[in-house]
Amino acid sequence: MADRKTYKEILEDQKMIEDLIDLPHIDEEERQELAALWKDLKSREAYKFDAIISVIKECDNCIDQFTKELDDLRDNVDYWKTKRKRVINIIKAAYQSQLISSKPTGLKYQATIKNVLPKVQENFDEWTEAEQRKFGIKKTVTVETVRDGEVIKKREDVYADKEELRQTLMQNPSEAPDAARLVRRVSLSYGLRKRLQKGV
C-alpha cells in the first residue's frame, strides 16, 4: 500500500522526533519509542525517495523515447515535403516551358497553375556602391543604458530594398543592379475533375 504521507511530511516528522529526543525531560522509555518511530520514518523516507526517483527515471525514458519519435517524424515530414516539391516542379517546369496549359487535366484530377509575385535574387554582395545607395536600406541597432543614454553598442547593416528592386526589375530592368534577377514563380492547386471526359 502506498504511503499516504508525502516525502516532505515524512522529513518534517523525522525532524520533529529528532527535536523531541533531545529534550531533557524525555525519559529513556519515551526516547526508545521515539527512536523506533524515527527508524520507521527513515525507512519510509528511503522507499519514498526511491519511488520519486523511479518516476523521474520513467519521465526521462519517456522524454527520450518521444524525442526520438519526434525527430523521426520531422525527418519523415522533411522527406515528404521535399518529394512533394520535386513532383510539383515537374508540372511547373512543363508549364514554364509552355508544354501544358495553365489548367492541365488527367482522368481523375485537374490543376490550376497561376503566376505569382516573382522572387528577387538580389546578389547584394556583387552590387557597386552606387547601386547600394540607390536600392539599399540601412538598419541601425543601438544598445544604450536607460539611466544616461550611454551607447554600449551600435551596429549598422545595409540590405537590398527588395520591394523597390522588384518593381524596378519588372518595370525598368535596365535601371536595376546588373547582378539582380527576378525568378519567375507559379502556384499550383489541384482537385478532382468536375466533369469526366467522355469519348475516346
d(CA 186, CA 190): 13
Q: pLDDT value at position 21?
A: 83
Round to whole Å and give the CA distance between 6 and 89. 62
The rounded distance, in Å, linking the Cα atoms of 115 and 186 is 4
User: Which grid coordinates belong to 110?
Assistant: 485537374
What residues contact 183, with CB distance under 8 A and at least 6 apart? 118, 119, 120, 121
pLDDT along the chain (200 residues), means of 10: 83 88 83 87 90 95 97 96 95 92 93 92 92 92 91 90 92 92 91 63
pLDDT score recorded for residue 198 = 46
For the stretch 134-155, pLDDT in tens is 999 999 999 999 999 898 999 9
Q: Report the pLDDT value the prediction gives residue 84, as an integer from 0 to 100.
A: 95
How confident is the model over 168-182, as pLDDT tens digits?
A: 999 999 999 999 999
Q: Which of 167, 189, 193 is nearest to 180 (CA)?
A: 167
Please report, for the chain, the start and end positions of each structural domain, with discontinuous segments joined by +: 1-100, 103-192
Q: What is the pLDDT of residue 31?
A: 82
